[in-house]
Amino acid sequence: MSCPVYSRYATEEMLSIFSDEAKIERWLKVEATLAKVQAELGMIPKEAAEEIAKKANLKYVKIERIKEIEKEIDHDLLAVVNALAEVCEKDFGRFVHKGATSYDIEDTAWALAFKDALNLIKKRLQDLLAILLRRARENIDLVCIGRTHGQHALPTTYGMKFALWSYDIFRILQRLEFFLELDVLGKMSGAVGTMAAFDEKGIELQSKVMELLGIKPALISNQVVQRDAFADIIYLIALTSSCLDKIAKEIRNLQRTEISEIMEPFHSKQAGSSTMPHKRNPHRSERICSLARYQRALIQVALENISLEHERDLTNSANERIMLSHSFMLLDFMLKEMIEIISGLEINYINVKKNLELLNGIYMAERVMLRLVEKGLARNVAYNLVKDLAIKSYRENLSFEEELANNEIIKNYLTKQEIKDLLNPYTYIGQAKKIVENVISEIEKNLKI
């Protein structure tokens, strides 16, 4: 049975980073880079480094041979080292992995994978942000009812919704840049971090290896790069997933039959239900929400991995083999899904207007109350007066406008025309348009879109 992460959710781009072949290629690349620097520092013969570099790829080091060796020795990294060593000519294989420990190679290779994966996620986020900004601009004047606690609150705009989501994604991009700088770390420090096997050249060797690989060296490590850096990355993935969850949940709720203001894209041959032909389910948004739950759960595992014993133990290793690749693959899928959802999102303008007018202006009670206060009525009196009329209008299905106009107290403060104007939702969106314009302008300026 195949793993659904790989068979159902993994994109080709992310799969190319986290496939078994890609992992081994990275390990071999780190081994070759180590040998190159050791030759430069006079620690191994130059010819040995050249031979190792030539053979450190899957053309020479066969996956089948690695598996054979691993079956015998029960150590995956050492199986790669031995497979590389045995294809090197002139006995140069003895210089492979000289002085290094397994996690000098593995953690440095993880850093290479993180860098590639985070940059792919960055590209997806930028694509999503561009689409959200476009939708914000397109819908900057589309007034709709805002909801708090699931109830009609005050008018807002769809421009505000898309701009709010844009700002979420923008802040995630800022965090991603920070984590790329802070947590993508390699090491070449030996079994307990002292660099003893590299003599006095350890610090220089580590620096040069990481420079050639294009990543930062950990300033200090023991046998592993410290797992708070890994936890940061898992947190970023979970946080991003939760922001996508937030957007997806709003889409799902607004697609409810009773609301039906927006709908996920739905192609002509798509089926919503196996038995109900009329169904048009927001299944893609639901899938994003489902995967976000899994992503958040991984934070606990990542935090547990920080407190390893002494200079290290293996309690992080098994779960990282699953968690690190899966979390990136799932996030990449979620982002790709959300890009397609937002791109093809359908807005039902008729229902947007219908829902805005559903309560006959009752949700404009705040505006009426504030105007009464401006005209001289005490705030608590104005609040309770308007509240009672709003509740009565709702319960008895009466015209809120008429109830206000016929009230003996309100007559002393507001004319019928004033009341009519106050209940116009299209003129009570405050600075919504300016806010959206500012969001678009600031994001585009900062990201130079």
pTM, entire model: 0.93
Q: Which residues lie closer than 8 Å to 410 by C-beta, 6 or more apart?
A: 372, 385, 404, 419
How far CA 19 is from CA of 42, 271, 296, 325, in Å, comes to 35, 32, 23, 9
80 and 119 together in one domain? no
159 and 189 together in one domain? yes
Backbone φ, ψ for residue 145 (5° rounding): -80, 135
Q: Is residue 206 part of a domain?
A: no
Instruction: Take residue 188 and report the two structure tokens written for it.
Output: 């070449």
pLDDT higher than 70, residue 314: yes
pLDDT for the residue numbered 316: 93
pLDDT for the residue numbered 438: 97
Q: How much is the average pLDDT of 133-138?
A: 97
Q: Is residue 207 part of a domain?
A: no
Are the C-beta atoms of 157 and 139 separated by less than 8 Å? Answer: yes
Task: Using the CB atoms, write b or e for 349-379: b if 16+ within 10 Å.
Answer: eebbbebbeebbbbbbbebbbebbbeeebee
233 and 120 together in one domain? yes
pLDDT for the residue numbered 143: 98
345 and 404 together in one domain? no
339 and 374 together in one domain? no
CATH number (domain holding residue 418): 1.10.40.30
CATH number (domain holding residue 183): 1.20.200.10
pLDDT for the residue numbered 7: 85
349 and 372 together in one domain? no
pLDDT by residue (tens digit) across 197-254? Answer: 999 999 999 999 999 999 999 999 999 999 999 999 999 999 999 999 999 999 999 9
pLDDT for the residue numbered 265: 86
pLDDT for the residue numbered 272: 56
Instruction: Take residue 444 and report the two structure tokens written for it.
Output: 């585009």
Q: How much is the average pLDDT of 404-428?
A: 95
Q: Is residue 96 part of a domain?
A: no
CATH number (domain holding residue 31): 1.10.275.10
pLDDT for the residue numbered 279: 56
137 and 261 together in one domain? yes
Q: The domain containing residue 411 runs over which residues?
A: 362-422
State the Cα angle at 177 between 171 and 182, rounded to 5°: 125
3-class state of residue 143 by DSSP: strand
DSSP assignments along 243-291, one per residue: HHHHHHHHHHHHTSTTT--EE----TT--S-SS-TT----HHHHHHHHH
pLDDT by residue (tens digit) across 61-110? Answer: 999 999 999 999 999 999 999 999 999 999 999 999 999 999 999 999 99
164 and 219 together in one domain? yes
pLDDT higher than 70, residue 299: yes
Number of domains in the chain: 3
pLDDT for the residue numbered 276: 52
How far CA 428 is from CA of 358, 417, 422, in Å, comes to 16, 16, 8
Residue 286 CA to its chain's centroid (Å): 16
pLDDT by residue (tens digit) across 8-21? Answer: 989 999 999 999 99
Q: Is residue 348 part of a domain?
A: yes
Q: Is residue 164 part of a domain?
A: yes
pLDDT higher than 60, residue 268: no
* Residues noted as catalytic: 149, 273
The rounded distance, in Å, linking the Cα atoms of 137 and 141 is 9
Mean pLDDT in the chain? Answer: 94
Backbone φ, ψ for residue 186 (5° rounding): -110, 170
187 and 326 together in one domain? yes
111 and 67 together in one domain? no
Q: Is residue 434 part of a domain?
A: no
378 and 343 together in one domain? no
Tell the residue number behind the tokens 């006095």, with chain if given: 200
